[in-house]
Amino acid sequence: MPQVLTIDGPGGSGKGTIAQKVADYLGWHFLDSGALYRLTGLAAQNHNVALDDKAQLAVLAENLDIRFELVANDEPRVLLESKDVSLEIRLPEAGQAASKVAAFTEVRDALLLRQREFKRAPGLVADGRDMGTVVFPDAPLKVYLTASVEERAQRRYKQLLAKGQSVKIGDLLQDIQARDDRDMNRAVAPLRPADDAIIIDSSFMSIDEVFQQILDLLKDRDMIAAK
Ligand code: DC
């Protein structure tokens, strides 16, 4: 059976970077579930579907024509209907749209099987909000990665700046708070640590420290060989 490590947490907690790094290091598959919600939001915009039209959103989610292309030493390239949308889906507006469409059960159900298909040998690192609670409830290691709102806004700011996007830190802070609020308080699959999750607060930790801690946890649970 393929191994599964889930990493859930709020936006900007560093889970995307860490999950990708662990997957690369171990040669495991990587599921960026947030990208699926971001792509659903983008597809809605492209096809003039309103962000509250849950029936049509579910149809779009079910039929998403997407491709993740691996790029050496970088994030995978994301294609929607053959168009490269790697930059577009990372914009704060795409995050807000994702968080809105993600609140509908119909959309979540439409994406469930697609997410589970990422579980392939030798293993999967799944990054999201409900990986440990809903999508992979039997995962032998579940991490909930968090950080203070201020720290998360700073990180997003630096990430976007590095990609040449100019944004205001105050806007990012508001954006993160609005998304936290929506993601944590929705009725379906709200963002919360699974009962058996290990909680890591990365506010004062480097990426490497979090990475090492997760590798140690994987070794402790015999999910990878101790070197
Ligand atoms: O991780 P992210 O910032 O790319 O996620 C974008 C939005 O998608 C997030 O605000 C909530 C939603 N999401 C979700 O509801 N469930 C997931 N497993 C992943 C993301």
Residue 14 Cβ inside 6 Å of ligand 1? The answer reads no
| pLDDT computed for residue 61 by the predictor | 98
| pLDDT computed for residue 227 by the predictor | 64
Token pair 């294609």 is at which residue?
79
Structural domain contains residue 224: no
Residue 12 Cβ inside 6 Å of ligand 1? The answer reads no
Q: What is the DSSP letter of 104?
A: -
Structural domain contains residue 32: yes
Q: To test ligand 1's pocket by mutation, which of 7, 78, 99, 145 has the most ligand atoms within 8 angstroms of CB?
A: 99
Structural domain contains residue 223: no
Nearest protein Cα to ligand 1, atom 12? 99
Residue 34 Cβ inside 6 Å of ligand 1? The answer reads yes
Two structure tokens written together for 44: 């809605």
Structural domain contains residue 226: no
C-alpha 12/C-alpha 34 separation (Å) is 12
Residue 129 Cβ inside 6 Å of ligand 1? The answer reads yes
Structural domain contains residue 227: no
| pLDDT computed for residue 74 by the predictor | 77
| pLDDT computed for residue 222 by the predictor | 95
The answer to whether residues 90 and 160 touch, using CB atoms and an 8 Å cutoff, is yes
Two structure tokens written together for 194: 């699974």
Domain CATH for 67: 3.40.50.300
Q: Which atom of ligand 1 approaches the CA of 183 most closely? A: 11
Query: How close is the Cα of 73 to the center of ligand 1, in Å?
Result: 23
Query: How close is the Cα of 209 to the center of ligand 1, in Å?
Result: 24
Residue 179 Cβ inside 6 Å of ligand 1? The answer reads yes
CA-based nearest residue to 23, from 120, 97, 91 = 120
Residue 128 Cβ inside 6 Å of ligand 1? The answer reads yes
Tens of pLDDT along the chain (227 residues)? 899 999 999 988 999 999 999 999 999 999 999 999 999 999 999 999 999 999 999 999 999 999 999 887 778 899 999 999 999 998 889 999 999 999 999 999 999 999 999 999 999 999 999 999 999 999 999 999 999 999 999 998 998 898 888 889 999 999 999 999 999 999 999 999 999 999 999 999 999 999 999 999 999 999 999 86
The answer to whether residues 174 and 167 touch, using CB atoms and an 8 Å cutoff, is no
Angstrom CA distances, 12 to 27, 45, 103, 112, 160, stand at 24, 24, 19, 23, 11
| pLDDT computed for residue 120 by the predictor | 97
Count of domains for the chain = 1
Structural domain contains residue 48: yes
**pTM, to two decimals:** 0.93
Structural domain contains residue 225: no
Domain interval for residue 57 = 3-218
Residue 130 Cβ inside 6 Å of ligand 1? The answer reads yes
Residue 95 Cβ inside 6 Å of ligand 1? The answer reads yes
| pLDDT computed for residue 7 by the predictor | 98
Sequence-ordered strand ranges (E) for the chain: 3-8, 29-32, 66-69, 77-80, 83-84, 123-128, 141-146, 198-201
Structural domain contains residue 214: yes
